[in-house]
Amino acid sequence: MLGAVVIAGLIVALVVLIRGGDAADRIDTTASTTVLPSTTSTTTTTTLDPAAAAAAAAAAAAEARQRDFVVQIDGILQQASAGRGRVGPLVAGVQDCSIAPLRAEDEIDTVISNRQSVLTRATSLDAGADPAVSGALTQLRLALQASIDADVAYAAWMKYLYTDYYYTEPVGCPSGAAPTNDDFDDGERASGRASAAKSAFVAAYNPLATKFGLRTWSEGEI
């Protein structure tokens, strides 16, 4: 009987040891387990809106066309200005008889030739669909054409003085002023139209010139 009890006690002790070892193993395993943080990264991709890209490209192209237009017009104005200042003094000189009409007519013919060349250049320009550009170009063409009309009319008046007045009795300007005729009146009216068109032109053109850092113009310089 005693032997059986001893054997049973040994069996119980052995079971306890085995179970205790298993528990220790489980504790150690649990303690050594480390939970690592997530390393998943988030990538942000920016996609350019095709409509916005197309609009930006169109705006850049329009601005480039504007600048090209302004540069070309500046060159035309430089040419126009070269002969512009001679007409007024010639007309005044013929009026007060300080300049012979034949000489003045020859000089005005040179101015007319210059103006025709300038108008040809302005007419060849394509303003496109830009209202700011087309508006300025229209007024410039009107101004140049009216200036030519005025110069042609003044030249015709000077020719009249040379052929029909200066060398008939009384010779020259006995009253201190040369007479005027319908040609002179036509020149005055055309000059008025030119001034109005020039004023409208500089109002439309100068903001464009300022935008691109180019020279601005006054009515009297064109």
Domain limits of the chain? 72-221
Question: In 3-state terms, what secondary structure has residue 38?
Answer: coil
Contacts of 128 (CB under 8 A, 6+ apart): 65, 134
pLDDT per residue as tens, the chain (222 positions)? 444 444 444 454 444 444 555 544 544 444 444 444 555 555 555 566 888 888 788 778 778 888 888 999 999 998 888 767 788 899 999 998 888 888 899 999 999 998 999 999 999 988 777 888 899 999 999 999 999 999 999 999 999 988 877 665 555 676 778 889 999 999 999 999 999 999 999 999 999 999 999 999 999 888
Taking the whole predicted model, whether its pTM rises above 0.75 is answered as: no
